[in-house]
Amino acid sequence: MAQSGDKFACLTCYDATTARWLERAGVHVLLVGDTASEVILGFDRTIDMPLDVLLALTAAVKRGAPNTLVMGDMPFMSYQADEASALRNAARFLTEGRADVVKLEVDATFAPLVAKMTRAGIPVVAHVGSKPQQAMLSGGYGSKGRTAEEAASIVRDAITFEQAGAVMLLVEAVPDEVAAEILKHTSVPLIGIGAGTACHGQVLVLHDLIGLTDSPPRFASPVASLGPSFENAGREWVRRVADGSIGGVRYTMKPGEVRRFRDLLESGLPLTDAPDRPA
């Protein structure tokens, strides 16, 4: 699609049911992101995402969308400590998690690791620009590449990772000019998030897109307002339970069994074969 100039869509996803619907919608790439730490587990940082939980969620998404490219997001400290553990953890995403590619938030110093992963047969998506896993170094989430030096560094990182073997790039929260330069100097598909419209693909956190987030980031424009719909559905269920109008079709006993049931109760016979009790 990138070669032909067709834009491709990417969304985060964290469960099989949602994945099934997004595959039916034609979404091309599903990212099982460490944002699950925030929108699924309730933390306020992505770095709290447990590796084993993310592996399970990734496998669930692939089961729900078997014909869609699924990207596993390697969480904080699953690849930074040493190359051996990084390779093992990345391999787990391909085997246990059934992911098609893995994503790492990296700068140029990680190029040797990406090269080793590539040699091992692990397809890597290099995430450059704003890196949420490093947010604490700068006091919180924010954009990158707003100075000439920082912008040039991001472009150099992108070039370095393509040369190291990355099959795809993702750039987050940068000015349009930075994404344009990455496109000019690289040839692999580029996914953007808060990086303008020139990128080959675009990704958003699903919850931001469908109106489940109270305060979505500035680059996310919701296309639905499912939050209030969920709330209204919950309120309606509370009302139905209160007045007994829960709906649905009730189960019934087989013909003649109601009378037999009442006869059993009236006869005083035990309803079950209770075991003998000790004296």
Across 143-274, the runs of DSSP E, i.e. the strands, are 168-172, 190-193, 201-204
Q: Are strands 29-32 and 69-73 parallel, antiparallel or unpaired?
A: parallel
Within 13 Å and on the Cβ side, how many CA atoms surround 127?
23
Q: How far apart are CA 130 and CA 140, in angstroms?
A: 11
236 as an active site residue: the answer is no
Whether residue 182 contacts residue 158, with contact meaning beta carbons closer than 8 Å, is answered with yes
Strands of 24-145, DSSP E: 29-32, 69-73, 101-105, 124-129
> DSSP secondary-structure letter at 83?
H
Total count of residues recorded for the chain? 279
Position of tokens 């019934």? 252
From 38, 105, 162, 172, the catalytic residue? 172
Contact (Cβ atoms closer than 8 angstroms) between residue 122 and residue 87: yes
Any idea which residues carry the catalytic annotation? 172
